[in-house]
A and B are shown apart, each in its own frame.
Chain A
Amino acid sequence: MYVAVKGGEAAIENAHKLLAEDRRGDMALPEIDVAQIREQMSLAVDRVMTEGSIYDRDLAALALKQARGDQVEAIFLLRAYRTTLPRLGMAEPLDTQGMQVSRRISATFKDLPGGQLLGPTFDYTHRLLDFALQAERQPSEAKQGGTLPQAMPQVVDLLNAEGLIEQECPDDDDEVVGDLTREPLMFPASRAVRLQSLARADEGYLLALGYSTQRGYAKSHPFVGEIRSGMVRVELDIPELGFAVDIGEIGVTECQMINQFRGSKSEPPKFTRGYGLSFGYAERKAMAMALVDRALRAEELGEDITAPAQDQEFVLYHGDNVEASGFVQHLKLPHHVDFQAELALVRKMRAEIAAGDTAPAFEEAAQ
């Protein structure tokens, strides 16, 4: 009976076998291929890459397969793998203006240079289950029309011409950008570090926090200045060469949120910005991130800090789902030593109350 409380090697071994069996499911059906997940579960792959902090569609698809579709578990697998990868260098800032866009919309202007481009979006679909998908079929091809410009100006830059929106200047070259994956988070965190943290943060968590700012907890009057998705080039500065080299393309979604700012003693009223960026088509994530980024700028803009979404420590310490999931689930580990200590204490306190001897102690202590 004593042994029953403890686990053992055999139990762990068997649990792992059961897990593999359950993951495979009905053996009569063909096994799902990693390439199929990569191609057909692509938004799941996008989320795993974004929060897992590695742009690799195949690894993310593999993680999803291994995690039986559990996103947080897949993200964790990718993060743990990431630990073992060497750091080769730091890429140049992405030029999203030069993006090969597949989607680009603005909610602030009816039309704009470059045009509105819906792209492959769920927006305006009726959320009716499509039973035709139960059978295999080929999708009807979308009509190709016109050509897209090579570069599209960003909406926020159009407002810049009038000085209506704050300028965002690149950091000085000598200012070192922090790296959240190498150094611990310290407060107050710079915007660069905050954005890193938000990019890795759980989508559901950011969605709820962003939503809270829309419902009056740190009201910020947001407008979608622009959302764009597409491929951007990644350039890496090679010290031996002395110039940056194009090392490939990645798919990203960028959201520029525009928010009202009433102005202060030193600054006239103008629009401010919140920024969101995710891998692939993780658009909901990019939007929520932009809302929270703006809320976290409260201190810098001289706004009152009244809501959870404005609180750096609260937002940044609790957004990482690998950390949160681990700590919440560690409650499954045995805690019988702590519990035994508590049990002894509660028994002692109850015995004291039953014996009616708490009053003297109270008086004594209160003196």
Chain B
Amino acid sequence: MSVETGIAKIETRDLDFYYGPSRALKRVNISCHTNRVTAIIGPSGCGKSTFIRSLNRMNEVVPGTRMEGTILLDGHDIHASDVDVVELRRRVGMVFQKPNPFPKSIFDNIAYGLRINGLKDKRKLENVVERSLRGAALWEEVKDRLGENAFALSGGQQQRLCIARALAVEPEVILFDEPCSAIDPIATAKIEDLIETLEKSYTVVIVTHNMQQAARVSDYTAFMMLGELVEFDVTEKIFTNPANKLTEEYITGRFG
């Protein structure tokens, strides 16, 4: 299902996913476009996290899982034999549900992705750290304490640190897996603002169980239920005039 014309940045075709014998995704077709925010909503257990974790092949690290169907990044199959999963994950960054800073200094957290790719030049690292922290709207708050342990930051700051850490390796796509579910409303607002800024330079996909959040930040919304894509359309249409009865019932809060 594609809402926009032109080649999608990410496109899934008949994506199926299994945890052992249980099927978590059923023939899911979604396209995500550059400079657009695509939100995935749906009740708990609908497969939205499974879906987003397929896009950077993070599901592979879970034992006993199996995937069928195709995922294209710039029209190229991400499971093709010439694709290096390590390079794929650099291009498709991810921010997790719970802020997961490493127990290192703020600086070392941001520099982590560059260092594992062999960058040692201190000046360059400093530049990227500053740029990434600015990009994640965290620089002003931490610029005087880059050597402090990242655990000393508040939950909302930690999540922005994780965003900065993802930005540092210059990804093309950023996946957000319920990024605000573990932080307070004020910090949530900051992250939502940030997502709107990131949209200008990246392809953003966000999983959320907060419908208002999807309505606020996204251009397109996909509604999933029980592993199936129920409806995928322009966000405004989904929230004002959904085509499917289930979508309407969900967004009006009749179940969820």
A and B physically associate? no
Q: Which residues of B contact A (CB under 8 A)?
A: none
Q: Which residues of A contact B (CB under 8 A)?
A: none
